[in-house]
A and B are shown apart, each in its own frame.
Chain A
Amino acid sequence: KAGVTQTPRYLIKTRGQQVTLSCSPISGHRSVSWYQQTPGQGLQFLFEYFSETQRNKGNFPGRFSGRQFSNSRSEMNVSTLELGDSALYLCASSLATLTDTQYFGPGTRLTVL
């Protein structure tokens, strides 16, 4: 069974631009969560989508948004990029709830110059 895939793996943007990251969950998984990992703040929860609806949201500004499609694939968008948005963005998928094991993708490394 294929794992969670994230594209692109690496991305370089400049301040003020916007970016879209993609996550394809494991087949059959309906829940997709996004996390930001930085050396200073560690791993922080961004949001979770289930059946195309945002089910949970972390404490990030509105510049961070996401969506989920009917095939459970998810995208997250960051508008008006800031230097502090440089991070590893991880996507995780699970069957439905938190009690189901979350499987993480390899992440997208975003660098903002």
Chain B
Amino acid sequence: AQSVTQLDSQVPVFEEAPVELRCNYSSSVSVYLFWYVQYPNQGLQLLLKYLSGSTLVKGINGFEAEFNKSQTSFHLRKPSVHISDTAEYFCAVSNTGTASKLTFGTGTRLQVTL
């Protein structure tokens, strides 16, 4: 079984500042890793995913994440945030041996202010 820990439930940040949202996972097998964003009253939108290959993954809206196998982490970063980035961010993991069964973290609320 896998699990995901998002260490911060809320992250306040000023506009144009950098941000890092932390995600650690636990699994006894190889995994795929994902970051999703959820805007108020909307479904989830995929930001980026790590399947294999380069450990630095670039996604939409200027976000990127780095897969660190030794630290079992997949932190999400953005060098300069905008007000419009205010949303809930979810880290998720799946077993590479199975099909569509995502295990999600509890989410991090990113609050961007002026």
Chain B 32-50, CB-CB to A under 8 Å as 1, else 0, gives 1000100001111110010
A101 interface residue (CB < 8 Å to B): yes
CA distance A44 to B101 in the complex (A): 9
B45 touches A104 (CB 8 A): yes
In the complex, B90 has a CB within 8 A of chain A: yes
User: What does the 1/0 interface line of B18-42 toward A look like (CB < 8 Å)?
Assistant: 0000000000000010001000011
A48 touches B101 (CB 8 A): yes
Q: Is A98 a contact of B32 with CB atoms below 8 Å?
A: yes
Closest-by-CB residue of A relative to B99 is A55
CB-defined contacts of A42 to chain B, threshold 8 Å: 104-107
* Chain B residues with CB under 8 A of A98: 32, 94, 98-102
Question: B43 and A90: CB pair below 8 A?
Answer: yes
| Contact indicator A92/B99 (Cβ below 8 Å) | no
For the complex, is A56 an interface residue (Cβ under 8 Å from B)?
yes
Partner of A107, one of B36, B43, B51, B101: B43
- Partner of B99 from A97, A105, A106 at Cβ < 8 Å: A97
Per the CB 8 Å criterion, the residue count for chain B at the interface is 23
Given contacts A90-B44, A102-B46, contact A33 B100 (CB under 8 A): yes
Q: Is the CB of B45 within 8 A of A106?
A: no
> Which residues of B have CB within 8 Å of A92?
43-44, 100
B85-105 with Cβ < 8 A to chain A: 90, 92, 94, 98-105
Q: Measured between alpha carbons, how far is A44 from B92 in the docked complex, in Å? A: 11
Could you tell me the distance between the alpha carbons of A44 and B51 in the complex, rounded to whole angstroms? 21
- Identify the closest chain A residue to B52 (Cβ): A99
- A43 near B99 with CB under 8 A, answer no
CB contacts (< 8 Å) of B36 on chain A: these are: 104
Give the distance to chain B from A67, nearest Cβ to Cβ, in Å.
16
Chain A residues with a Cβ under 8 A of chain B = 4, 31, 33, 35, 42-45, 48, 50, 55-56, 58, 90, 92, 94, 97-99, 101-107
Can you list the 8 inter-chain pairs with the closest CB atoms, starting with the nearest? A104-B43, A43-B104, A104-B44, A56-B101, A48-B100, A33-B100, A42-B106, A98-B100
